[in-house]
Amino acid sequence: MTVNGELLTGLGIALAIFLSSVGACYGSVYAGVFALRHASRGILSFAPVGIAGVLAIYGTIISMLLCGKLGSDHTLSAAEGYRYLASGLSVGLACFSSGLGIGKFLQEHVNG
């Protein structure tokens, strides 16, 4: 059974976009609640919204880099496919866990 390097790269692209976007969404929800409840602080209350929103940009950057590798003329080997899958997965999981951490922190800060 042969492993398709293009498929693994495509999975890395999808995981980077999906997981980083889910992390950004989760963090942005509680950042928005924090901004509404602490509106008296002015523009500083919107800082967590920007921090959480940047997480999706990281996934987009990695996905665009991997799309460049996928669109090249040569075929990707299995080792390259696994490498690109791991890079997309690592960025996606890092952004996902960061978004969860931002959300949990702000949830405790707003409720407690």
Q: What is the pLDDT of residues 37-91, one digit of tens each?
A: 888 888 888 888 999 999 999 999 999 999 998 877 788 899 999 999 999 999 9
Q: What percent of the chain has pLDDT over 90?
A: 70
Q: How many CA atoms lie within 13 A of 35 on its CB side?
A: 18
- What's the pTM? 0.89
Confidence at residue 40, expressed as pLDDT on a 0 to 100 scale: 85
Q: What percent of the chain has pLDDT over 70?
A: 99
| DSSP category for residue 2 | P
| Tokens 């800082």 sit on residue | 47
What is the pLDDT confidence band of residue 111, given thresholds at 50, 70 and 90? confident
* Spatial distance between the Cα atoms of 27 and 29, rounded to a whole number of angstroms: 6
For the chain, the structural domain boundaries read 18-111
Burial of residue 111 (number of CB atoms within 10 Å: 0-12, 13-18, 19+): exposed
